[in-house]
Amino acid sequence: MAAGGSRAGSASPIPSASSLPLAALNVRVRRRLSLFLNVRTQVAADWTALAEEMGFEYLEIRQLEAHADPMGKLLDDWQGRPGASVGRLLELLTKLGRDDVLVELGPSIEEDCQKYILKQQQEESEKPLQVAAVDSSDPRTSELAGITTLDDPLGAAGWWWWSLMITCKARNVTSRPSLRSASLPVPIRSD
């Protein structure tokens, strides 16, 4: 039972990693991936095999060969494509039989994913509370009541007067045949 509980605990980062973007991987992990996959060997799959699995075409792979760090460039280019995620990268490495990379970098990848998730949660908690939908219905709570006379330095009468002037001038502009002489006074708020 305890072994099953520890297995469930260690398996939880993998599903979360499957949906994380590649931006979750920091430079340290990307450099170590490059050290493993930039080396061309006959025995193990290198970055070119990974590029093919990622859906890159022959000419794209040839262009990547010109870079000093083709694996790093491959990750950067793949990051902008649909379906690119940390989980998908791990799946492709498993498919290519690069268990050595997974064993060596697995803890670092998991650590980067946890940092990324914590950072996203922190940024989410720091966002100001906003209503997702905007509608023209009556406010349901006092927070949604909108601008009050205390918000306007001229008070309700001043703002009402300016909006009335804008409405009248706009009606005059639309009724005139020539729009060159039209002018709309627009109040500038200082808040």
Amino acid present at 39: V
Q: What is the pLDDT of residue 10?
A: 40
Q: How far apart are the first and last CA of the chain?
A: 62
pLDDT in tens, 78-114: 998 988 999 999 999 999 999 999 999 999 999 999 9
Distances (CA, A) of 43 to 17, 96, 104, 161: 28, 11, 18, 81
Which of 2-6, 26-30, 44-48 holds the top average pLDDT? Answer: 26-30
The model's confidence at residue 42, banded by pLDDT at 50, 70 and 90, is: confident
**More confident: 177 or 121:** 121
Angle between helix 86-95 and helix 47-54 axes, rounded to 10 deg? 120
Q: Please state the length of the chain.
A: 191
